[in-house]
Amino acid sequence: MSAAVAVPEHKLFESPNSRSIDISDWFITTSTNPISNASACDALQAELGFPLPEMTFGRNLLTLEHRPSGWKYTFTTDAALKAVKNGQLEEGDGGVKVGYADKWLQSRTGPSSNLPMPVTVPTKSYDWTYTTAYTGHEHPDAPSQGAIAWTPADPDNLSHSIPLAELTRPDPILFYAEIPLFEDELHDNGSSNLLVRIRVMPTCIFILARFTLRVDNVLFRTHDTRIYHSFESQPPLVIRETCGWEAPYDRVKRQLPKRDDLTPLTDPTFIAKILAGLPSEVSQKEGAKTGWRELRRRVELAVLTRN
């Protein structure tokens, strides 16, 4: 623990399915609940227009409220799934075929086959990988004057970047929560999940929302949203950094510590570390040749002003 960091006054609140912290000018609430029941899933599926992930945590959420400005920001499952492409996949959507699809077709239509090339049609009218570049959203209950515009950060201004040194200091963690929004095993072809984490420390708030996709023998994909606020920033600033990476399955597999142990390939932290450590030409330009538009890094900031 860092002895030089003073712990500010704060209050913690807890109930069976929710936890909150009141600190500085902020009130933060998390809610974690079991997987949605059948009736809730039916209602959400009817609203979205496509089948839900196997594990949909429809009542889970994270909400931040900055009282002086009235700004409220939230992460919810339904909004995350609304960012999944519903309809025919187009250029930039990053559509993915399962690993055996091309081989299956080739075995039946190759030079040694007597079968003609079949007429193929899309079997799913939505992104079956549940890829989402969801970054959270303004809370609908926030007053209109609480709406904040996100503007591009100045890369030459250090106050416009997330200070990694501060986040890696051994400061006390006053509040921590993990909020799963959804997870699916993609019909045994891999895994797709979105998890939101929040840490509140004496000097700052830090959020990581991470979408992780593994399609076996095809690719790995990660989309991170990091949100940071320093209690000392004047005027109050919120920094939002979004990054997307992907790479062919075998390229990530080659980075395994032990070739015979595939367990790390199911760990979102390991996957993100490998993808972020690859040259950007590999993970953010070429990717896995899906043409996904989110293969980039973007930093924005919001200035919170008092009402």
Percentage of the chain lying above the pLDDT 70 cut: 88
pLDDT greater at residue 122 or residue 107? 107
Q: Does the structure show a pLDDT above 50 at 259?
A: yes
Looking at residue 117, its pLDDT comes to 44
Looking at residue 143, its pLDDT comes to 67
Looking at residue 104, its pLDDT comes to 46
Q: Does the structure show a pLDDT above 90 at 51?
A: yes
What sign results for the dihedral spanned by CA atoms 123, 125, 128, 131? positive
Percentage of the chain lying above the pLDDT 90 cut: 84
Rounded distance, CA 22 to CA 64, Å? 10
Residue 239 has phi, psi (to 5 degrees) of -105, 130
Stretch 262-272: mean pLDDT = 98
Which tens digit of pLDDT belongs to each residue from 128-171?
Answer: 999 999 999 998 876 655 568 899 999 999 999 999 999 999 99
Are 135 and 240 within 8 A, CB to CB? yes
Three-state DSSP string of the chain:
CCCCCCCCCEEEEEECCEEEEEECCEEEEEECCCCCCHHHHHHHHHHHCCCCCCEECCCCEEEEEECCCCEEEEEEHHHHHHCCCECCCCCCCCCCCCCCHHHHHHHHHCCCCCCCCCCCCCCCCECCCCCCCCCCEECCCCCHHHCCCCEECCCCCHHHCCCHHHHCCCCCCCEEEEEEEEEECHHHCEEEEEEEEEEECCCEEEEEEEEEEEECCCEEEEEEEEEEEECCCCCCEEEEEEEEEEEEHHHHHCCCCCCCCCHHHHCHHHHHHHHHHCCHHHHHHHCCCCCCCCCCEEEEEEECCCC
Looking at residue 108, its pLDDT comes to 46
Q: How many residues does the chain have?
A: 307
Q: Does the structure show a pLDDT above 50 at 120?
A: no
Looking at residue 73, its pLDDT comes to 96
Looking at residue 245, its pLDDT comes to 98
Which tens digit of pLDDT belongs to each residue from 180-226?
Answer: 999 999 999 999 999 999 999 999 999 999 999 999 999 999 999 99
Q: Does the structure show a pLDDT above 70 at 254?
A: yes
Rounded distance, CA 109 to CA 101, Å? 12
Q: Does the structure show a pLDDT above 90 at 175?
A: yes
Are 199 and 227 within 8 A, CB to CB? no
pTM of this structure: 0.91
Looking at residue 209, its pLDDT comes to 98
Stretch 14-37: mean pLDDT = 97
User: What integer best gives the mean pLDDT of the chain?
Assistant: 91
Which tens digit of pLDDT belongs to each residue from 78-117?
Answer: 999 999 999 999 999 999 987 555 554 455 455 555 555 4
Cα–Cα distances in angstroms (integers) from residue 244 to residues 51, 262, 295, in the given order: 25, 23, 5
Q: Does the structure show a pLDDT above 90 at 28?
A: yes
Nearest to 82 by CA among 122, 126, 38: 126
